[in-house]
Amino acid sequence: MIRIGLVGTGGMGTVHYNNYQHIEGCKVAALVGITPQSRECSENWGVPLYEDIHSMALAEQVDVVDICSPTFLHREHVMEALSLGMHAITEKPVALHKKDAEEMFSLAESKGKLLFVAQVLQFTKEVEVLRELVASEEYGKPLDASFERLSARPRWVQNGWLFDREKSGLLPFDLHIHDLDLIVSLFGRPESFSFTSTGGRDKAYREHYRFLYNYPGLSVAAEAAWFNADFPFTARWRVYFENAVVVNDGSQVIAYQFDHPARVFDTHEDLLIPTGINLPPTGMFHRELSHFMDCIARGVPSDRVTRQQVLTVIDLLEELAKD
């Protein structure tokens, strides 16, 4: 039985807790938090609560610490968990600087422990389809791709930390990271990139970005936004292969070719688990956390979200943040 210490009981902490209830061979054995919500979750879930990771480690037998705290605490919490001899799972981004991410992975290696970064998009049915099409070249090589991730400004965030560059990395690290991680996992590191950004005069951050990543024989565009408007969350992509256009329109994945009927791929979810937040029931978090639990049981790193992939993404985002 893999015993889990869950750090943070906000939105993502709740999502992870709900999904662990459906994964055999693991158990949330302890919570770490200092908020009234943490105390309420401890009572409702029947799981002991501790104020910090060190106190938890002294009192409980924990194999892996799942870190769902705000971005600016990820490095501190990961380093503490690894130093105390436990594996670590952390929500994205692992860090805001490549050197910090490298230190975290190096510490995990020196301690003989595993570090996992939760990039849940990698575990969606739609991305599984795209990954197979790129790898198999069923429709030929990809020539052009575009990714879109648009949202209303996240007014729900507590204490406004998400709008502080030093604490969150702002929109590129919080939102665009999902698509950039996918882009890097599919196509590798781009040869070059450029971007444009816009924002209201009263904002201390940029609200909208358009990115262009250049590869030999392939151009990849991406768009990300925190609109100052009640805009519905939108996540879509389109990839033009030599012999087909494959589109994820947000509800289904379809391939279009000449002289063939449109092909609708099977992206049906066999298991839908309520998230407990403003996301509909889904199976992607279950697949993600099941994968991490399996890796821990087998003592192997993730082949879905790799160390090099994570470091490349953080390095690119850090370069973007300089401009």
pLDDT in tens, 195-219: 999 999 888 899 999 999 999 999 9
**Residue finishing a domain among 53, 83, 118:** 118
Confidence band for 52, pLDDT divided at 50, 70 and 90: very high
Confidence band for 308, pLDDT divided at 50, 70 and 90: very high
Are 89 and 59 in contact by the 8 Å Cβ rule? The answer is no
Are 9 and 69 in contact by the 8 Å Cβ rule? The answer is no
User: Residue 237: inside a domain, yes or no?
Assistant: yes
Domain hosting residue 77, numbered range: 2-118
Which of 76-85, 153-162, 166-175, 312-321 is predicted with the least confidence, judged by mean pLDDT?
153-162
Q: How far is CA 72 from CA 6, 78, 170, 200, in A?
A: 17, 11, 11, 25
Residue 180 has pLDDT above 80, yes or no: yes
User: Residue 152: inside a domain, yes or no?
Assistant: yes
For 13-33, what is each residue's pLDDT tens digit?
A: 999 999 999 999 999 999 999
CATH number at residue 18: 3.40.50.720
Q: What pLDDT is attached to residue 265?
A: 99
* 162/87 same-domain check: no
CATH number at residue 191: 3.30.360.10
* 130/163 same-domain check: yes
Are 181 and 122 in contact by the 8 Å Cβ rule? The answer is yes
* 102/136 same-domain check: no
Based on the structure, what is the number of domains in the chain? 2
Residue 157 has pLDDT above 80, yes or no: no
